[in-house]
Copies of this chain bind each other. A is one copy, B any other.
Amino acid sequence: MSKDKQFVKEITPQAEDFSRWYIDVIKKADLMDYSPVRGCIVFKPDGYELWELCQRELDARFKETGHRNAYFPLFIPESFFQKEKEHVEGFNPELPWVTEAAGEQLEERLAIRPTSETMIGHMYAKWIQSYRDLPVLINQWANVVRWEKRTLPFLRTSEFLWQEGHTAHETEEEARKETLQMLEIYRDFVENFLAIPVIVGQKTPSEKFAGAKDTYSIEAMMKDGRAVQAGTSHYMGTNFAEAFDIKYLDRDNQLQHAFTTSWGVSTRLIGALIMVHGDDRGLNLPPKVAPTQVVMIPIGPAKTRDQVVARTDELFAELKQAGIRVKVDDRSDQSPGWKFNEYEMRGVPVRLELGPRDMEKGQCVLVSRVTGEKRMVQQDQLVEEVQKLLDETQQELYERAKQFMADRFRSVDELDELKAAMEEERGFFLAGWCGSASCEHQVKEEAGATSRNIPFEVTEHKSKCLVCGENAQHTVVFAKAY
């Protein structure tokens, strides 16, 4: 038992220091390690597998909607950054440069891609000649680099993993439809797979992506009340096509610029996953994204051990056969109590305990990581019972996160009210906004909150700007963001 106590002590309580809690949990759950390169982390197997499961799920959704994957070079010639003025201003401060290779100085410096956007623009200009070549629907899974001064594992690292979709279309209508389709895919994935409720909406002009006409985002609330932008989708209009000369002969034989979109999510989703569901006992993984959904722990005295382990293995085979990600921990050098804590800390949604008395009765015990509830179930109904508990857990985590967000989602009328509220407790704040960049800027300076987005759906339409009191053009969500 002393081991158990020590164990829990190693995780700082959320209420004491949320940032330390986060680092404690990801280190203790073995998701990552710091690397000797500043700002770059190592994704350890338990962390990387979360990304693999996200990839598999998203990739299937991208392919279902007609997208295909491709791969573009890591290096971007310096001249490419001159083509799109806003692009270069957006990224230049963050770029690492290759200046020499194979013992020689390069004639032109090469940036490590912060996105492949410019390279893809260059290639699309070659590939797209006629309306027959459209639409182009391409996605890339890749590593990208943005040299960050202040980093936070998963949420902000100098190198990270992501996907970037880039599409080109004949018409504005089609490109806008694509932009919103991908936003909806992200929303559905984040809400129903990661069990993270989000606010869906449009970015204000000052928060949109450099060069985009319109940027849309999904915004999630962490347990410290801060926001994480969990995915973005951009309608570029013809801005990007003009910068990169992406032109096609239309059905009337006229040369036109293509309408383009881009959209992406990254490994920061892993950070959000941890910060939305985790608690003082550690990780708390929604079953759909949990690498291990059920851990089976045989218990009881040494004399019945072999029998219990043998039965555990049979049940393991049944669960595995049913497609459930299951694991047995039958190590004899760790106590059941230690194991219970260990897998709770690792966020495994369901624990199965099997002891000699359970065996006699043809039963076993399921324990929910989220609620702590124990269920005695019949072994001959195990698959159904486990599936049911996993479904309930997925739903429960979503509902809890939704309730948490609702509790921290407040409406404010004036900047002073926002400042006071932010000081009391962080969260999402709905406020009216006149549309001026200076009012938005003032909110950031004085309350430390940025506009997250203009939600598609709001509970309430605000009529006055929270800063200047003029008529509100939009009702906006403000929050402090990661």
**A interface vs B, CB < 8 Å?**
33, 35-37, 40-45, 48-49, 51-52, 68-77, 80, 92-103, 110, 112, 119, 122-123, 126-127, 138, 142-143, 145, 147, 149, 159, 161
Asked if B97 contacts A93 (CB within 8 A), the reply is no
**Set B37, B52, B110, B138: member contacting A45, Cβ < 8 A:** B138
Task: Pick 22 A–B contacts, CB within 8 A, sort by A.
Answer: A33-B127, A35-B72, A37-B75, A37-B76, A42-B71, A42-B73, A42-B123, A43-B70, A44-B70, A48-B69, A48-B70, A74-B159, A75-B96, A94-B102, A96-B98, A96-B102, A96-B110, A97-B98, A98-B98, A99-B99, A99-B100, A102-B147
A83 to B35, CA, bound (A): 17
- Say how far A409's CB is from chain B's closest CB, in angstroms: 35
Instruction: Contact check, B48 vs A159: say whether CB atoms are below 8 A apart.
Output: no
For the complex, what is the distance from the CA of A43 to the CA of B95, rounded to whole Å? 24
Minimum CB–CB distance for A459 against chain B, Å:
41
Tell me, rounded to whole Å, the shortest Cβ–Cβ distance linking A305 to chain B: 21
Q: With A and B bound together, what is the CA distance between A147 and B102 in angstroms? A: 6
Contact A71 B161 (CB under 8 A): yes
Q: Is the CB of A102 within 8 A of B98?
A: no
Residue numbers in B under 8 Å from A35 (CB-CB): 72-73, 119, 123
B99–A145 contact, CB under 8 A?
Answer: no
Residue of B nearest to A96 (CB): B101
Point out the residues of chain B lying under 8 angstroms from A70, CB to CB: 42-45, 48
With A37-B110, A96-B98, A123-B33 as contacts: A48 and B73 at CB distance below 8 Å: no
A122 contacts across to B, CB distance below 8 A: 36
Tell me, rounded to whole Å, the shortest Cβ–Cβ distance linking A143 to chain B: 6
B97 touches A100 (CB 8 A): yes
Report chain B residues within 8 Å CB of A102. 93-96, 147, 149
Closest CB-CB distance, A147 to chain B, in whole Å? Answer: 4
Copies in the assembly, this chain: 2
Alpha-carbon distance between A161 and B41 when the two chains are bound, in angstroms: 20
For residue A159, which residues in chain B have a CB less than 8 angstroms away from its CB? 73-75
Query: How far, in Å, is A90 (CB) from chain B's closest CB?
Result: 13
Indicate the member of A41, A98, A126, A147 with the most B CB atoms within 10 Å. Answer: A98
A73–B40 touching, CB < 8 Å: yes
Chain B residues within 8 Å of A149, by CB: 102
Smallest CB gap from A80: residue in B: B36
Most-contacted residue by chain B among A48, A99, A102, A127 (CB, 10 A): A102
* A93 and B103 form a contact (CB under 8 A): yes
Closest CB in chain B relative to A55 CB, distance in Å? 11
* Nearest neighbor of A79 in chain B, beta-carbon distance: B36
CB-CB under 8 A from A123, the residues of chain B are 33, 35, 42
Interface contact B110-A101, CB-CB below 8 Å: no
What's the least CB distance linking A39 to chain B, in Å?
Answer: 9
Interchain CB contact under 8 A, B74 and A40: yes
User: Please, which residue of chain B has its CB at the minimum distance from the CB of A138?
Assistant: B45
Q: Are B126 and A33 in contact (CB under 8 A)?
A: yes
Please give the distance in Å from A142's CB to the nearest CB on chain B.
8
List the B side residues contacting A110 at CB < 8 Å. 37, 96
Report the separation of the CA atoms of residues A149 and B74 in the bound assembly, to the nearest whole angstrom.
18
B71 to A43, Cβ gap below 8 A?
yes
A406–B33 Cα gap in the complex (Å)? 50
Interface centre among A72, A76, A93, A126 (most CB of B within 10 A): A72
Nearest B residue to A267, CB-CB: B71
Q: Given A69-B45, A71-B161, A72-B42 in contact, is the A77-B143 Cβ separation under 8 Å?
A: no
